Structure 1
Amino acid sequence: MGQVTVRVGGYTHPVSCEDGQEAHLIALAAEVDRRVASIRAMGGQFGESRLLLLASLLLADEIHDLRVDLSRAKAAPPGAAPEIDPLLAERLGRLAEQIEGIAATLDQP
């Protein structure tokens, strides 16, 4: 049985895991710690248990959204094009314009 000590929200926690899963567990704790840090950045004084509760709720909300997206993708007819995120499409368009501008300057003597 593996054992690691993770740091979340400024507190250390010893945690057991299956052998070989130590790095994965450390990465998961780092993700929780990022959520805790984002909650702290919003202001307010929270105890450790409240911070962990709010971080858990943020992660649960993200999991819920991913499950909804997955179920929609599974329900789509085979070969159907996925729904395109308009913000992502806009960003990709701007990046393409920048790349074309760079390429144009490379073609000049």
Structure 2
Amino acid sequence: MPEVNVEINGRRYRMACEEGQQKRLIALAERFNTQVEELKGAVGEIGDTRLTVMAGIAVVDELAEAEKRIARLEAEVAELTRAGHEIADELERTEQKFSAKLDDASRVLEAVASTLDSTAPLPS
């Protein structure tokens, strides 16, 4: 199993990961370290453990907000999908009505043409 070195709050940590996940683990560690550094800049030196716990909680808070947003967007997509199906169904019903009206008009025109043919034959 591959191992990578990451740095969090000035300390290096050796971590194992799945094959092919090395770059992702390094990127995640860099992102977490940025969170730690920003928090350290805001609250000062408060101890490594406390700082790391606060940064972890901040990251989980961001995750929770992202999950809420995803849930809202999924609900919107479901609503739009339902509305799209309703519109498609209405369009199909309208097309069927139009087709029926067109068939009715065609029958009337054929009846008129037939009547005209029988009452006034075309000259030969």
**Equivalent residue for 2:23?**
23
**Equivalent residue for 1:52?**
52
Q: Is there any run of 5+ residues in structure 1 with no aligned partner, and where?
A: 81-109
Higher helix proportion, which one? Answer: 2
Q: How many residues align?
A: 80
Distance 2:63 2:43 in 1: 25
Q: Which has the larger radius of gyration?
A: 2
Q: Between the two structures, name the one with larger relative contact order (CA 8 Å, sep ≥ 6).
A: 1
Q: Please, what TM-score do these two structures have when normalized by structure 2?
A: 0.61
| Per-residue deviation, residues 47-89 of structure 1 (Å, max 9, x unmatched) | 2111111111111011001110011111121268xxxxxxxxx
| Residue 67 of structure 1 pairs with residue 57 of structure 2 | no
Classify the secondary structure of the residue corresponding to 1:46: coil
Q: Is there any run of 5+ residues in structure 2 with no aligned partner, and where?
A: 84-124
RMSD: 1.4
Q: Please, what TM-score do these two structures have when normalized by structure 1?
A: 0.69
How far did residue 3 of structure 1 move?
A: 0.1
**Equivalent residue for 2:32?**
32
Pairing partner for 1:78 from 80, 92, 112: 80
Using the aligned pairs only, state the percent identity: 30
Classify the secondary structure of the residue corresponding to 1:15: strand
